[in-house]
Structure 1
Amino acid sequence: MIEFRNIHKSFEEKVVLDGVSGVLERGKCNLLIGASGTGKSVLLKCIVGLIPTDQGEVLFDNRDFTLADRDLKTDIRREIGMLFQSGALFDSKTVEQNVMFPLDILTKMSKEEKLERANIVLKRVGLENTNKKMPSEISGGMKKRVGIARAIVNEDVKYLFCDEPNSGLDPQTSILIDDLIKEITDELQITTTVVTHDMNSVLGIGDKIMFLFKGKKVWEGNKDEIMDSGVKEFDDFVFANKVMNKMRHG
Structure 2
Amino acid sequence: MIEIHNIHKTFNGVKVLNGISGNFESGKMNMLLGASGTGKSVLLKCIVGLVKPDLGSITYDGRIFANNKLDIKQEIRRKIGMLFQGSALFDSMTVNENVEFPLRMLSDMSKSDRLDRVQFCLKRVGLEKAGNKMPSELSGGMKKRVGIARAIAPNCTYLFCDEPNSGLDPLTAITIDELIKEITQEYNITTIVVTHDMNSVLEYGDNVMFLYKGHKLWEGHSSTIMDTNVKELNDFIFSNRLMRDAKKVDQIEAEERLEDEQSREEKR
TM-score, reference length from structure 2: 0.89
**Equivalent residue number for residue 154 of structure 1:** 154
**Equivalent residue number for residue 132 of structure 2:** 132
**Equivalent residue number for residue 20 of structure 1:** 20
**Equivalent residue number for residue 195 of structure 1:** 194
**Equivalent residue number for residue 258 of structure 2:** none
Q: Distance in 2 between matches of 1:243 and 1:32?
A: 22
Cα 1:149–1:64 change in 2 (3 A) is same
CA RMSD of aligned residues (A): 1.3
Output aligned runs, 1:29-68, within 5 Å: 29-68=29-68
Cα deviation code 1:118-163 (max 9, x no counterpart): 00010000001111100000001000000000000012x1100000
User: What SS does the aligned partner of 1:10 have?
Assistant: strand
Q: Distance in 1 between matches of 2:243 and 2:97?
A: 39
Q: Quote how far apart the aligned CAs of 1:57 are.
A: 0.6
Letter in 2 for 1:30: N
Q: Distance in 2 between matches of 1:163 and 1:242?
A: 26
Cα deviation code 1:188-246 (max 9, x no counterpart): 01100000000010011100000000101000011110121111110111001564899
User: What SS does the aligned partner of 1:240 have?
Assistant: coil
TM-score, reference length from structure 1: 0.96
- Unmatched tracts of structure 1, length 5 or more: none
**Equivalent residue number for residue 259 of structure 2:** none
Letter in 1 for 2:140: G
- Unmatched tracts of structure 2, length 5 or more: 246-268
Matched-pair contact (CA < 8 Å) for 1:33–1:211 = yes
Q: How many residues are paired up?
A: 245
Cα 1:231–1:12 change in 2 (3 A) is same
Matched-pair contact (CA < 8 Å) for 1:199–1:242 = no
Tell me the percent identity.
63
- Structure 1 segments, 4+ long, off by >2 Å, are 241-246
Instruction: Indicate whether 1:167 and 2:166 are aligned.
Output: yes
Cα 1:242–1:218 change in 2 (3 A) is farther
Letter in 1 for 2:101: F
Q: Distance in 2 between matches of 1:213 and 1:95?
A: 38
Instruction: Indicate whether 1:115 and 2:119 are aligned.
Output: no
Matched-pair contact (CA < 8 Å) for 2:8–2:54 = yes
Letter in 2 for 1:95: V
Letter in 2 for 1:136: S
Matched-pair contact (CA < 8 Å) for 1:31–1:195 = yes
